[in-house]
Amino acid sequence: MFDKILVDIHSHVLPNLDDGSKSLTESLEIIKTFHKLGYRKMITTPHNQQGWFNNSPEQIMDALNKMNIAISIHRINILLEAASEYFLDDLFLELLRKKKLLTFKNKYVLIELSPFILDKFLFQRMDEILQHGYIPVLAHPERYIYFYQRKEQFHKLHEMGVKLQLNLISLSSAVSTELRTIAEYLIDEKLISFCGSDSHSMKNPKIIENLPNETTYLEKLIQTNPLLNHTLM
Ligand SMILES: [Fe+2]
C-alpha cells in the first residue's frame, strides 16, 4: 500500500541536527524500513526554530551528502533529499523575505505552528508565503488543539491554497482518540494533500509498518484524498 505514497516528505533522519536521529546507524535503520515498505524517496526536513534549532542550508546539505554516501555504501535503493521544517516565527519570516528557504519541488515549504497557541497572524503569514511564490505545506494540522472547535479553519486554509500534511501515526492507536478523530475528519473531508512519517527515531516507522492492520483510514486516504506525495518522485 505504501508504494502508492512512494515519497515521504517529513522526517528528521539527518543525525544530530535537531531532536531527530542520534546516529548514522539509527538513520540507516529508519531509511531501510521505509524502503522495505515501498517508499522510493524521502525528503527529510530538519527543524528550524528560533532559539532551538538553527540549521542553515549549508549545514543541512553537508549532512545530507554524508547520509547519501552511507546509503550508497549500504546499497539502499532510495533517494534522499532535504528541505526543512520551519516553525512560523521571526527567523522564518526573515528567511522568507531573503528567499533563503529550503523547499521541495522548488515551491513547497513545510511549516509548523505552536501546538497550543493560535498565531493571530496565521492567515496573513500564509498569504505572505503565497505572495512570495511558495506553497505552504502545513505540517500535522491534526495536532493543533485550537482548531478542534473551529474545524472550518482547516477548510479556510485549504481554500486559500495551503496544503495540509497529515502525520500517518495520527491514524494509529499510539495517539489520543481526540487527535485520531481529527485526523479521520480531515480524510473524510478530503483535505489532505500530503502525508508524512515525521520520523525522529524508529518509533514512528514501527507504528506506520503496522498501520494497514490497524485502520481502514490509510487506504481511504490513498484512495479518496488529493495526495501529491507521488508527484515528487
Ligand atoms: Fe517534524
The band of 208, judged by pLDDT with boundaries at 50, 70 and 90, is: very high
Mean pLDDT (whole number) for 159-163: 98
Rounded average pLDDT over 132-158: 97
How many Å lie between the centroid of ligand 1 and the Cα of residue 82?
A: 13
Å from CA of 54 to ligand 1 middle? 14
Distance 26 CA to ligand 1 centre (A): 17
Q: How far is ligand 1, taken at its centre, from the CA of residue 224, in Å?
A: 25
C-alpha to C-alpha distance for 148 and 142, rounded to whole angstroms: 8
Phi and psi (nearest 5°) for 201?
A: -160, -165
C-alpha–C-alpha distance, residues 170 and 180, integer Å: 5
Q: According to DSSP H, which parts of the chain are helical?
A: 24-37, 57-73, 90-97, 122-131, 152-160, 177-188, 203-214, 217-224
Distance from residue 200's CA to the centre of ligand 1 (Å)? 8
pLDDT in tens, 68-126: 999 999 999 999 999 999 999 999 999 999 999 999 999 999 999 999 999 999 999 99
Average per-residue pLDDT for the chain: 97
Q: For residue 202, report the distance from its CA to the centre of ligand 1, in Å.
A: 14
Give me the long-range contacts of 220-224 (CB less than 8 A, separation at least 24): 220/187, 221/166, 221/171, 221/187, 221/192, 221/195, 222/1, 222/4, 222/5, 224/187, 224/190
Q: Number of C-alpha atoms within 13 angstroms, CB side, residue 88?
A: 24
All structural domains of the chain, each given as residue ranges with its CATH number in brackets, are 2-232 (3.20.20.140)
109 C-alpha to ligand 1 centroid (Å): 13
Q: Which residue has the cell 549532512?
A: 63
Taking only the tens place, the pLDDT of each residue in 26-52 is 999 999 999 999 999 999 999 999 999
**C-alpha cell of residue 100:** 533563503
Ligand 1 centroid distance, CA of 38 (Å): 21
Distance from the CA of 62 to the center of ligand 1, in angstroms?
Answer: 20
Instruction: Read off the pLDDT band of 12 (50, 70, 90).
Output: very high
Say what the pLDDT of residue 58 is: 96
Q: What integer pLDDT is reported at residue 50 of this predicted model?
A: 95
The per-residue pLDDT for 220 is 98
CA of 86 to the centre of ligand 1 (A): 9
Q: Give the Å distance between the CA of 197 and the centre of ligand 1.
A: 8
Q: What is the pLDDT of residue 67?
A: 98
Q: What is the pLDDT of residue 4?
A: 97
CA of 85 to the centre of ligand 1 (A): 6
pLDDT band per the 50, 70, 90 thresholds, residue 223:
very high
